[in-house]
Amino acid sequence: MISVARRNPIRRGRLVAPQIYFDLRERIVSVALVPGELLSEVRIAQDYGVSRTPVREAFKRLEEERLLDVVPKVGSFVARIDLDAVRDSQFIRETLECRIVELAAARIRPAQRAQLVAVLARQNGAVEDNDSAAFFRADENMHELLAKIAGHARIWDVIHEAKAQLDRLRRLALIDPERQRKRFLEHRAIVERVCAGDGSGAAEAMREHLGAILRAIDGVARNNEHFFDGLRPAK
């Protein structure tokens, strides 16, 4: 059982349960809280300086998202990563994001090209520093920016909500510096095509990028079998 040190103090007048939920969700998705970890309502309430009621509400939301397993009379555990859910979220991403980059290539403006180049520079810096957390943030920034350029910023909210299980796997994968570098090169190919106004080329590059993530799933899962459900037998 771990102690969850609060990342931000609870402030009077704020909605306490949502803040605790978002803090814990981020720690689960980032794999700072690992699958199978026991979480204590009492300890978390003490760490945040609140009653158990908002912690219980946060736990309920996390359970609904299948990020927490609550076992009556036993305890609450960080859920294992569901590989079927990972594959479903990957399907959602490919379906939506290939269309997003087609539209982005048709609508991009000079200032937005500069924004994409700046995001790529941050990714490259993270690769050079072997900072997987910084790379992940810049990765997310790029995909969100592409949705905005395409004129569908809210679609990113849909994608983000759907990919929690996938993000847990991505965070594990990005620990490997070589995977970071490969993802960066794939991102660069996408951005180059979007900036050139090549919609079909951008969609092809995005499909290749997302396919590379999908192909990495089994390898990452087999190296961390105790974190996963739904691992398919090796061929």
Residue-level pLDDT at 233: 58
What are the residues facing 81 on neighbouring strands? 228
Residue-level pLDDT at 5: 47
Burial of 118 (0-12, 13-18, 19+ CB in 10 A): middle
Residue 235 within a domain: no
Q: How far apart are CA 186 and CA 203, in angstroms?
A: 12
Residue-level pLDDT at 15: 67
Domain extent, residue 144, equals 83-229
pLDDT digits (tens, 9 = 90+) for 30-55: 999 999 999 999 999 999 999 999 99
Residue 10 within a domain: no
Residue-level pLDDT at 225: 83
Residue-level pLDDT at 231: 64
- Phi then psi for residue 88, to 5 deg, are -65, -45
Residue 2 within a domain: no
Residue-level pLDDT at 13: 40
Residue-level pLDDT at 2: 43
Residue 190 half-sphere exposure toward CB, CA atoms < 13 A: 29
Residue 72 sits in the same domain as residue 180? no
Residue 164 sits in the same domain as residue 60? no
Residue 112 sits in the same domain as residue 187? yes
Residue ending a domain, among 55, 79, 103, is 79
Residue-level pLDDT at 12: 42
Residue 112 sits in the same domain as residue 154? yes
Residue-level pLDDT at 224: 82
Residue 43 within a domain: yes
Q: Rounded to two decimals, what is the model's pTM?
A: 0.83
Q: Domain of 145: which CATH number?
A: 1.20.120.530
Residue 4 within a domain: no
What does the angle CA 179 – CA 219 – CA 170 come to, to the nearest 5 degrees?
50
pLDDT in tens, the chain (235 residues): 444 544 455 454 456 899 999 999 999 999 999 999 999 999 999 999 999 999 999 999 999 999 999 998 899 999 999 888 888 999 999 999 999 999 999 999 999 999 999 999 999 999 999 999 999 999 999 999 999 999 999 999 999 888 988 999 889 888 889 999 999 999 999 999 999 999 999 999 999 999 888 788 778 878 888 888 766 655 5
pLDDT digits (tens, 9 = 90+) for 1-33: 444 544 455 454 456 899 999 999 999 999 999
What are the residues facing 11 on neighbouring strands? none
Q: Domain of 37: which CATH number?
A: 1.10.10.10
Residue 201 sits in the same domain as residue 122? yes
Residue ending a domain, among 79, 104, 132, is 79
Residue ending a domain, among 79, 105, 120, is 79
Residue-level pLDDT at 146: 98
Split into its structural domains, the chain has a count of 2
